[in-house]
Amino acid sequence: MLTLYTIPESLYCAKTRILLRHKGLTWRELPPPGGVGAADYKAIVPSGNLPALDHDGFVLTDSEAIAEYLDEVFPDPPMLGQGAQARARVRERARFHDTRLEPQLRALFGHVAPDRHDRALFDRQADLVSQRLAQLARMLDAAPRPDLPLGLGDCGYPVTFAWIDAFAARLDLPIRWPAALAPWRAALEAQPAVAAELSDYAPHMEDWLVAKGV
Ligand SMILES: N[C@@H](CCC(=O)N[C@@H](CS)C(=O)NCC(=O)O)C(=O)O
């Protein structure tokens, strides 16, 4: 049995669900016992990271480690690509999301509530996110298979893009979307696994934003 420890608003949990859906797997979800950061959860997952996967007693965390594990254990459809260079490109795109793009978005989460608004930070992060989007557009241009089918390196982007749009609208962020990204984003969002996840996830995003008062 596949069990995923999740919290509703986590974009890394959504990223993992996109992969699970694309592979046609069934799983159950549990909240971290005791809550985020709790000792009870850390007794199971020492780092406290979400998501974490329990596959018949094998417990693993970090969305990238989980993705590569699931792709090996459930290889159909394959999500890493054929050949060393293609696989390296897929991994490069996955890491770029987790280590370059998403952290620039994450810097905003603690400043969404109106009493925490910081115009200078908003403008700075909007510029940094825009720079990352431009870099991504160039990377996709150089990639041997920036097109779909959905790969392991694509799964983080749809939900991050949805958060960028939500923050841009509610915090008046001057995000510059490269025109070259639009067809890739549209193709990504047309994938059934992505469309299903975005549709299930949207209310959780909305709940989080409303709870923050924006
Ligand atoms: N690189 C990690 C990042 C995951 C991450 O930041 N998860 C957040 C929730 S979205 C989390 O674990 N928060 C709780 C904590 O850090 O204790 C991954 O890919 O799994």
- Do 177 and 121 share a structural domain? yes
- Calculate Rg over the CA atoms of the chain: 17
Chosen domain end from 32, 53, 73: 73
Q: Which of 49, 97, 159, 208 has most ligand 1 atoms within 8 Å of its beta carbon, as the pocket-test mutant?
A: 49
Q: Which of 9, 12, 97, 106 has most ligand 1 atoms within 8 Å of its beta carbon, as the pocket-test mutant?
A: 12
Confidence of residue 149 (pLDDT cuts 50, 70, 90): confident
**What's the gap in Å between 50 CA and the centre of ligand 1?**
5
Report the amino acid identity of residue 207: D
Residue written as tokens 């909007």? Answer: 126
Average pLDDT over residues 125-148: 86
- Do 98 and 191 share a structural domain? yes
pLDDT higher than 70, residue 144 = no
pLDDT per residue as tens digits for the range 25-61 = 999 999 999 999 999 999 999 999 999 999 999 999 9
Pocket of ligand 1 (CB under 6 A): 10-12, 36-37, 48-50, 62-64, 98
Task: Tell me which residue range forms the domain holding 162.
Answer: 84-212
Strand order in the sheet with 58-61: 28-30, 2-5, 52-55, 58-61
Give the chain's largest Cα–Cα span: 51
**Which ranges in the chain belong to alpha helices (H)?**
11-22, 39-44, 63-73, 84-96, 102-109, 119-142, 157-171, 181-190, 192-212
- Do 126 and 105 share a structural domain? yes
- Do 68 and 149 share a structural domain? no
Confidence of residue 142 (pLDDT cuts 50, 70, 90): confident
Total-model pTM: 0.97
pLDDT (0 to 100) of residue 145: 54
Chosen domain end from 47, 73, 99: 73
More confident residue, 142 or 151: 151
**What's the gap in Å between 12 CA and the centre of ligand 1?**
7
CATH number of 105's domain: 1.20.1050.10
- Do 204 and 104 share a structural domain? yes
